[in-house]
């Protein structure tokens, strides 16, 4: 039985990957952080009582800032594959805690690689490093001749997160070259899902769209509506991580859809899922999105009460507090190498991704509606 160790198992990707590897027959170990409240929501359905026989999933307390703990867990678990997904992954928050991010996202990667080396497991253990399209920084002059970022495009990170991750990228490549380790970078472009953290822009939009459609919220405040991202589905992307570690030779791969979309259009698509047409007007700080039509048929088929929705209602406003000190304006990845070499083919396009997220958030927010009707406190707004 193959053994995998996942750092960041409680995150979006960790949860999908753990489930995927368990289905493939792996024994999966995951590292979770101690927190004052349970932080295992995304993997609770995978929980196995350790007193039972035939256990295949085990969680260990740990942290990427603690070498001793990483060495002990790797020694105890003897993994064939390590997926280093643990990170402080929010770009905007990285401007607030840059030193911590450097420690976790940058040096944390070194700690994993070095633990494997110290334990003499260089030839046994394959390592996947969660690298990111944030390394490119969105500089137009660094795109390839076809207008994409690929495995050979230069890097120019634009946030403490990107800068920390560039260390993770290069130290992974260096350990591969210096010590012959099977250590690979997946340069993944944005990927989302119903499990996406609530403060990333897509999930912020789908949650708010559901709340607005149910009359639980009137308006959503966003930052840069013109930012463009290459958005895929996390379920497709975790499969690529696994494929990268099954190759004969260790190499780095870009994982992307090859399509880019503005935040503004993501908003339009989310609202369209619940039958609401939104039109944007104004510029920069004063731009806003207004309801111009409600498709009663779609709304009723979803059980929505359209009386709370008014034509002319402003549902999107810009709040400059969400503007980043340095922004990545446009990301667009070239999945050619991963498609030809890994045989990777995403199952979700953007429309299917938005639908999946909206169905899920509508269900979630309907629970909120019941709570509110019953006089109970509803879920908080997230920024």
Per-residue CA distances from 297 to 273, 294, 369 (Å)? 12, 9, 21
| Residues catalogued as catalytic | 132, 134, 161
Closest CA to 18 of 260, 345, 238: 238
Closest CA to 73 of 60, 85, 64, 83: 60
Nearest approach in angstroms of CB 339 to ligand NDP is: 18
Nearest approach in angstroms of CB 133 to ligand GDR is: 5
DSSP H helices in 214-262: 234-245
Site string for ligand NDP, 296-325 (x = CB under 6 A): ------------------------------
330: contact with ligand NDP by CB under 6 A: no
222: contact with ligand GDR by CB under 6 A: yes
Nearest approach in angstroms of CB 272 to ligand GDR is: 19
95: contact with ligand GDR by CB under 6 A: no
137: contact with ligand NDP by CB under 6 A: no
The binder of 333, among ligand NDP, ligand GDR, none, by C-beta within 5 to 8 A per type, is none
Rounded Cα distance between 224 and 218, Å, is 20
Per DSSP bridges, beta strands 288-294 and 276-281 are antiparallel
185: contact with ligand GDR by CB under 6 A: no
Site string for ligand NDP, 194-233 (x = CB under 6 A): ---x------------------------------------
Residues 189-218 close enough to bind ligand GDR by CB under 6 A: 189-190, 199-201, 204
Which is closer to ligand GDR, CB of 119 or CB of 381?
A: 381
Residues 45-74 close enough to bind ligand NDP by CB under 6 A: 63-65
Nearest approach in angstroms of CB 62 to ligand NDP is: 6
The residues, ordered by sequence, that sit 6+ positions from 236 with a Cβ below 8 Å of its Cβ are 191, 344, 346, 347, 348
Is residue 379 within 8 A of residue 210, CB to CB? The reply is no
Rounded Cα distance between 192 and 236, Å, is 10
Q: Which long-range contacts (CB under 8 A, 24 or more apart) does 303-307 make?
A: 303/366, 304/213, 304/214, 304/274, 304/275, 305/214, 305/215
Closest CA to 4 of 37, 46, 36, 51: 46
List residues near ligand GDR by CB under 6 A.
89, 91-92, 132-134, 189-190, 199-201, 204, 222-224, 227, 229, 263, 322, 324, 327-328
């Amino acid at each position: 039985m193959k053994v995998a160790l996942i750092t960041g198992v409680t995150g979006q990707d960790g949860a999908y990957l753990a489930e995927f590897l368990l289905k493939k027959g792996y024994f999966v170990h995951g590292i979770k952080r101690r927190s004052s409240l349970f932080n295992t929501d995304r993997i609770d359905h995978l929980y196995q009582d350790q007193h039972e026989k035939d256990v295949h999933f085990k969680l260990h307390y740990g942290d990427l800032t603690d070498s001793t703990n990483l060495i002990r867990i790797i020694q105890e678990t003897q993994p064939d594959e390590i997926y280093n997904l643990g990170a402080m992954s929010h770009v905007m928050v990285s401007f607030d805690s840059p030193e911590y991010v450097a420690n976790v996202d940058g040096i944390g990667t070194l700690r994993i690689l070095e633990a494997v080396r110290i334990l003499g497991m260089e030839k046994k253990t394959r390592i996947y490093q969660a690298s990111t399209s944030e390394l490119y920084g969105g500089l137009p002059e660094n795109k390839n001749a076809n207008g994409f970022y690929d495995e050979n495009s230069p890097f120019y990170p634009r946030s403490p997160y990107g800068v920390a991750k560039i260390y993770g990228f290069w130290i992974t490549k260096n350990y591969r070259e210096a010590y012959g380790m099977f250590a690979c970078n997946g340069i993944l472009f944005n990927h989302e899902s119903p499990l996406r953290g609530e403060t990333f822009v897509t999930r912020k939009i789908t949650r708010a769209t559901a709340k607005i459609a149910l009359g639980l919220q009137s308006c959503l405040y966003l930052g840069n509506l013109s930012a463009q991202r290459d958005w895929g589905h996390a379920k497709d992307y975790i499969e690529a991580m696994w494929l990268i570690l099954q190759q004969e030779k260790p190499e780095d791969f870009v994982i992307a859809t090859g399509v880019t979309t503005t935040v503004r259009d993501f908003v339009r698509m989310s609202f369209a899922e619940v039958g609401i047409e939104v039109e944007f007007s104004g510029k920069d700080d004063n731009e806003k999105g207004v309801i111009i039509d409600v498709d009663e048929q779609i709304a009723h088929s979803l059980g929505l009460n359209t009386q709370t929705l008014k034509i002319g209602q402003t549902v999107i406003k810009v709040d400059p507090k969400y503007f980043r000190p340095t922004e990545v304006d446009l990301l667009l990845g070239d999945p050619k190498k991963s498609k030809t070499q890994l045989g990777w083919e995403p199952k979700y396009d953007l429309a299917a991704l938005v639908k999946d997220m909206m169905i899920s958030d509508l269900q979630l927010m309907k629970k909120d509606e019941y709570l509110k009707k019953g006089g109970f406190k509803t879920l908080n707004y997230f920024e």
